[in-house]
């Protein structure tokens, strides 16, 4: 929220407060600021000039020679390309030696042979951003509206130009501060000064409003108040300079006097206002209703928008003329031909405004305020203020009375605040009387009742709901910088859980293998599972749907980490990153099949991915083995999986531990890679980290160095091609007993001596006893037992 300080001064006297002190004190009472700027700070020697004559340049068709009165005995000559000015116009003139906003110094010079002693200024040259400059001045100089004294400093002539502008960071709960009066109220309370509200008086009214318009509300849940007034014989013209500059300083583009007045009062009170050309309303009716299915409206930005039945519209007797609380329709827009207007000030339900704005992808100054919550109490005050300014600027005749549907009866919220409780929570020692004074500064009605203060909450403070909110009010108005510093006290030290420690260790193991940790959003697109070829009946399809998503791409909670990792891999691959190793540990979310109203099931998962010239299936397998072994997980196997839709058939395996599937490793299916626009092989491992945390064994048992020597046996086996190393080692381990110390595959051979469809696998077996030196007879018994079991399996000695 941009707050021009001179505009703020209209409601609370801050003239003698240094801008730095003003900013610092407001920060310490809870009004955080972003920046303080002074738009025209760098301009020098810019004065009001009056154009006395305009002649064509003799040697340049696009240039004009103008004589301007700048308060001196003689007029000065300026050569310019500006086409939007006329004789007797007042314009800003920077004299030779002066500076414009970007720091450029203007010098006396010649343009195509003609002397130029200065330059006429546009709004940009005064320091304003093009987005707030009135459209008629986008490509021309600034024509002052009214009578001025030639030679007067432009900052004196239009005092609003010389202003400090504070940008406040308004939190969503403080919608009351999205207004000049709201911030004036905070300033008055902070500096203990009087808050002066605008004095609203309308001197002359004609006819009766009921002769011009009727209003009805069909959906009172979405609109619980609608106030309308009528103005006749309006004169649409540019706003006076003070109004234009105030709006521009507050970040709004001036349009015309009527629209500018509604925007001015919206910024003043924080209440959105809309004006309709009443002569375009069919049957002179206003109907607040739900939109019809597929009803469309062309909004003020020129775009046609299709509505649904959950959206609220303002309609006349025939059609929708505005999207309630968001934007008006093009068909009732205020134009230069408008003669009679209806001024709307209403109260709309915030969640409906927020949802409609999100669906349409349309946000406005009005919707940003309505969606945070606005009190409905001040609708009459605001509409009267608009009428007052229209009368003051002589741009219309005010029709007597207003149409007020559902006038609000005061239902004050009352909360008891315990003095001791407040002091204990903040760590201060204020008396009840001192707290009462703070509440009254904030315009709360309060009285002391023993050790309690009874507080009546004003209707503009919709954020105050309980005692703890009042504690915050006392703390911030006392001053955060005045609260004494204390160290937190406690008898116990915090520590990580066992699961968190295991997660940290797992991350260290993977990083040690050259992995990079990634973190991705839990919100994903419903189409993400299609990209990895998940079947419709898969449990991964039990996705949690988000009620109020940011968009289609973030509308469900993830049930797999794989799409997110593949998206990261795709982004790196297509940016010419030649190789990548990455992993993520994160939560998955599943709906409960029996009761979808219950909270979803959360499950922790891990995904590891790699691609590159030297990466293959055994790279990912080796990384997984290192991870599991270092977590103390033993006796796991890799079993071929041929039907996993995400992985290449035959190049995928499940990780088996006892009766549990710990996860899956494999080469990603080519169709999946095509979906992610990746042309190289990618290898992934998905691991159920919930099981990992349960079976991890981090205790280390040390054994003494063996006293007795080992003995070894080699064995070469002829087996079918489909037999795996894991199957052979499993048989050996199951039948070797305690004396087998190690088994290692040292050779695999296929050649002329080996029958087609078979291979030779050679192993080295190491035996050792911790109690004695083994003799051949003892080792042979074990060796023969292993050999017998291998023969039963179908293996033969080579």
What CATH number does residue 728 fall under? 3.30.70.380
CA separation for the pair 373, 355 (Å, rounded): 14
CA separation for the pair 428, 408 (Å, rounded): 39
Give 359's contacts (C-beta < 8 A, 6+ positions apart): 308, 311
CA separation for the pair 353, 778 (Å, rounded): 85
Let me know the angle formed at the C-alpha of 372 by 366 and 374, rounded to the nearest 5 degrees. 75
pTM above 0.85, yes or no: no
Find out whether 761 and 717 touch, Cβ atoms under 8 Å.
yes
Domain-located, residue 200: no
Instruction: Show which of 386, 405, 424 is a domain's final residue.
Output: 405
Domain-located, residue 490: no
Same domain, 125 and 17: no
CA separation for the pair 607, 563 (Å, rounded): 10
CA separation for the pair 406, 787 (Å, rounded): 94
What pLDDT does 596 receive? 62
Give 442's contacts (C-beta < 8 A, 6+ positions apart): 185, 189, 461, 473, 477
pLDDT tens by residue, 290-304: 999 999 999 999 999
Report how far apart, in Å, the C-alpha atoms of 87 and of each of 65, 125, 126, 152 are: 12, 22, 22, 19
Domain-located, residue 557: yes
The count of domains in the chain is 6
- Look up residue 51 and give its two tokens: 């154009």
Annotated binding site: 463, 469, 472-473
Domain-located, residue 489: no
Nearest to 341 by CA among 247, 259, 253: 259
Task: Indicate the pLDDT class of residue 612, thresholds 50, 70 and 90.
Answer: very high
What's the number of CA atoms in the CB half-sphere (13 Å) around residue 576?
A: 0
Helix axes 725-736, 776-793, angle to 10 degrees: 140
Instruction: Show which of 405, 440, 466 is a domain's final residue.
Output: 405
Same domain, 8 and 52: no
**Exposed/middle/buried for residue 387 (C-beta within 10 Å: 0-12, 13-18, 19+):** buried
Q: Is residue 410 scored above 70 in pLDDT?
A: no
Integer-rounded Cα radius of gyration of the chain: 39
How much of the chain, in percent, has pLDDT values that exceed 90?
87
Among 490-494, 542-546, 759-763, 769-773, which stretch is predicted with the lowest mean pLDDT? 490-494
H-helix or E-strand spanning residue 470 = helix 467-478
Query: Average pLDDT of 31-52?
Result: 95
**Phi and psi at residue 25, to the nearest 5°:** -65, -40
Give 325's contacts (C-beta < 8 A, 6+ positions apart): 272, 312, 346, 348, 353, 356, 366, 367, 370
Same domain, 392 and 535: no
Domain-located, residue 701: no
What pLDDT does 30 receive? 93
Instruction: Show which of 405, 433, 449 is a domain's final residue.
Output: 405
Mean pLDDT of the chain: 94
Find out whether 39 and 167 touch, Cβ atoms under 8 Å.
no
Residue ranges making up the domain that contains 528: 498-695
Find out whether 700 and 759 touch, Cβ atoms under 8 Å.
no
Among 67-71, 135-139, 431-435, 668-672, which stretch is predicted with the lowest mean pLDDT? 135-139
Same domain, 312 and 453: no
Query: Exposed e or buried b for every residue in 285-323, given b needs 16+ CB within 10 A?
Result: ebbbbbbeeebebebbeeeebebeeebbbbbbeebbbbb
Q: What CATH number is attached to the domain comprising 127?
A: 2.40.50.140
What pLDDT does 138 receive? 85
Domain-located, residue 249: yes
Q: Is residue 700 scored above 90 in pLDDT?
A: no
- Look up residue 571 and give its two tokens: 């982004």
- Look up residue 224 and give its two tokens: 């619980």
Domain-located, residue 488: no
pLDDT tens by residue, 345-395: 999 999 999 999 999 999 999 999 999 999 999 999 999 999 999 999 999
Find out whether 586 and 605 touch, Cβ atoms under 8 Å.
yes
What pLDDT does 492 receive? 73
Annotated binding site for Mg(2+): 463, 469, 472-473
Q: Is residue 766 scored above 70 in pLDDT?
A: yes
Nearest to 119 by CA among 61, 43, 40, 41: 43
Task: Indicate the pLDDT class of residue 493, thresholds 50, 70 and 90.
Answer: confident
Edge-first strand order for the sheet with 312-315 is 214-217, 285-290, 312-315, 320-323, 327-328
Find out whether 432 and 419 touch, Cβ atoms under 8 Å.
yes
Domain-located, residue 663: yes
Find out whether 654 and 717 touch, Cβ atoms under 8 Å.
no
Q: Is residue 540 scored above 80 in pLDDT?
A: yes
Same domain, 592 and 654: yes
Q: How many other C-beta atoms can be found within 10 angstroms of the C-beta atom of residue 13? A: 16
Same domain, 542 and 597: yes
Query: Average pLDDT of 718-740?
Result: 89
Block residue for tokens 């399996």:
793
Give, as one character, the DSSP assignment of residue 239: P
Q: What CATH number is attached to the domain comprising 445?
A: 3.30.56.10
Find out whether 92 and 46 touch, Cβ atoms under 8 Å.
yes
Rounded to a whole number, what is the distance in angstroms from the first to the last CA of the chain? 85
Helix axes 180-191, 19-28, angle to 10 degrees: 90
Query: Average pLDDT of 495-515?
Result: 95
What pLDDT does 486 receive? 83
pLDDT tens by residue, 84-117: 999 999 999 999 999 999 999 999 999 999 999 9
Same domain, 379 and 446: no
Q: Is 524 left (phi over 0), alpha (psi -120 to 50) or beta?
A: beta
Alpha helix stretches (DSSP H) within 484-561: 498-512, 528-531
Query: Average pLDDT of 440-465?
Result: 95
Same domain, 601 and 632: yes
Block residue for tokens 């092989």:
681
- Look up residue 479 and give its two tokens: 């001053």
Same domain, 639 and 721: no
Alpha helix stretches (DSSP H) within 39-139: 123-126
Same domain, 474 and 571: no
CA separation for the pair 626, 383 (Å, rounded): 73
Q: Which residues pair with 57 in a beta bridge?
A: 60
How much of the chain, in percent, has pLDDT values that exceed 70?
99
Give 573's contacts (C-beta < 8 A, 6+ positions apart): 580, 611, 677, 678, 679, 680
Query: Exposed e or buried b for every residue in 184-208, given b needs 16+ CB within 10 A?
Result: bbbbbbbbebebeebeeeeeeeeee
Same domain, 329 and 444: no
Same domain, 631 and 524: yes
């Amino acid at each position: 929220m941009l707050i021009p300080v001179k505009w703020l001064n209209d409601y609370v006297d801050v003239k003698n407060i240094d801008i730095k002190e003003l900013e610092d004190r407001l920060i310490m009472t809870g009004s955080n600021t972003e920046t303080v700027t002074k738009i025209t700070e760098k301009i020098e020697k810019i004065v009001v000039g009056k154009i006395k004559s305009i002649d064509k340049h003799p040697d340049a068709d696009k240039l004009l020679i103008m004589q301007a009165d700048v308060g001196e005995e003689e007029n000065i000559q300026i050569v310019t390309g500006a086409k939007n000015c006329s004789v007797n116009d007042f314009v800003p003139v920077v004299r030779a030696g002066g500076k414009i906003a970007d720091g450029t110094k203007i010098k006396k010079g010649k343009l195509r042979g003609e002397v130029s002693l200065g330059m006429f200024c546009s709004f940009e040259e005064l320091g304003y951003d093009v987005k707030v400059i009135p459209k008629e001045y986008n490509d021309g100089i600034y024509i002052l509206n009214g009578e001025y004294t030639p030679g007067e400093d432009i900052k004196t002539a239009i005092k609003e130009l010389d202003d400090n502008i504070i940008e406040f960071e308004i939190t969503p709960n403080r919608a009351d501060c999205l207004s000049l009066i709201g911030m004036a109220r905070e300033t008055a309370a902070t500096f203990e000064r009087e808050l002066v509200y605008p004095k609203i008086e309308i001197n002359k009214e004609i006819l009766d409003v009921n002769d011009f318009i009727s209003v009805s509300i069909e959906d009172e849940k979405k609109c619980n108040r609608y106030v309308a007034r009528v103005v006749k014989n309006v004169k649409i013209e540019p706003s006076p300079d003070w109004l234009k500059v105030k709006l521009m300083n507050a970040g709004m583009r001036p349009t015309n006097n009527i629209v500018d007045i509604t925007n001015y009062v919206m910024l003043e009170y924080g209440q959105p206002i809309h004006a309709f050309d009443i002569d375009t309303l069919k049957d002179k009716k206003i109907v607040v209703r739900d939109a019809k299915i597929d009803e469309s409206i062309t909004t003020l930005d020129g775009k046609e928008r299709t509505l649904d039945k959950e959206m609220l519209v303002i309609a006349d007797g025939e059609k929708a003329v505005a999207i309630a609380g968001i934007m008006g329709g093009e068909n009732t827009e205020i134009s230069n031909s408008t003669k009679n207007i209806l001024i709307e000030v209403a109260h709309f339900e915030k969640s409906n405004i927020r949802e409609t704005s999100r669906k349409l992808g349309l946000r406005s100054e009005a919707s940003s305020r309505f969606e945070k919550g606005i009190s409905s109490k001040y609708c009459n005050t605001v509409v009267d203020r608009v009428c007052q300014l229209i009368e003051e600027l002589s741009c219309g005749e005010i029709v007597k009375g207003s149409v007020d549907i559902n006038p609000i009866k005061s239902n004050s919220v009352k909360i008891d605040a315990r003095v001791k409780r407040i002091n204990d929570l903040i760590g201060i020692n204020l008396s009840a009387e001192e707290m009462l004074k703070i509440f009254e500064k904030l315009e709360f009605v309060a009285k002391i009742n023993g050790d309690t203060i009874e507080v009546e909450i004003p209707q503009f403070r919709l954020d105050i709901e309980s005692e703890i909110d009042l504690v915050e009010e006392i703390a911030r108005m006392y001053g955060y910088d005045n609260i004494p510093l204390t160290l937190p006290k406690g008898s116990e030290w915090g520590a990580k859980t066992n699961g968190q420690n295991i997660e940290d260790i797992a991350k260290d193991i993977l990083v040690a293998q050259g992995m990079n940790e990634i973190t991705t959003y839990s919100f994903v697109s419903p189409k993400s599972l299609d990209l990895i070829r998940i079947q419709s009946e898969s449990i991964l399809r039990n996705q949690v749907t988000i009620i109020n998503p940011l968009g289609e791409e973030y509308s469900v909670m993830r049930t797999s980490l794989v799409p997110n990792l593949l998206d990261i891999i795709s982004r790196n691959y297509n940016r010419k990153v030649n190789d990548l190793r990455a992993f993520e540990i994160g939560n998955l979310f599943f709906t409960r099949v029996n009761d979808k109203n219950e909270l979803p099931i959360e499950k922790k998962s891990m995904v590891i991915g790699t691609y590159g010239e030297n990466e293959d299936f055994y790279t990912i397998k080796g990384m997984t083995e290192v991870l599991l072994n270092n977590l103390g997980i033993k006796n796991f196997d890799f079993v071929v999986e041929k039907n996993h839709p995400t992985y290449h058939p035959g190049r995928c395996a499940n990780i088996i531990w006892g009766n549990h599937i710990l996860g899956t490793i494999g080469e990603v299916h080519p169709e999946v890679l095509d979906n992610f626009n990746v042309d190289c092989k990618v290898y992934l491992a998905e691991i159920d980290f919930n099981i990992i945390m349960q079976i991890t064994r981090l205790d280390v048992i040390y054994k003494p160095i063996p006293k007795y020597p080992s003995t070894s046996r080699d064995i070469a086996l002829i087996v079918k091609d489909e037999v795996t190393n894991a199957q052979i080692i499993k048989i050996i381990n199951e039948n070797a007993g305690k004396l087998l110390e190690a088994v290692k595959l040292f050779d695999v051979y296929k050649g002329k001596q080996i029958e087609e469809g078979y291979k030779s696998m050679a192993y080295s077996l190491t035996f050792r006893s911790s109690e004695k030196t083994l003799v051949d007879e003892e080792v042979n018994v074990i060796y023969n037992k292993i050999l017998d079991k291998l023969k039963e399996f179908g293996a033969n000695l080579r």
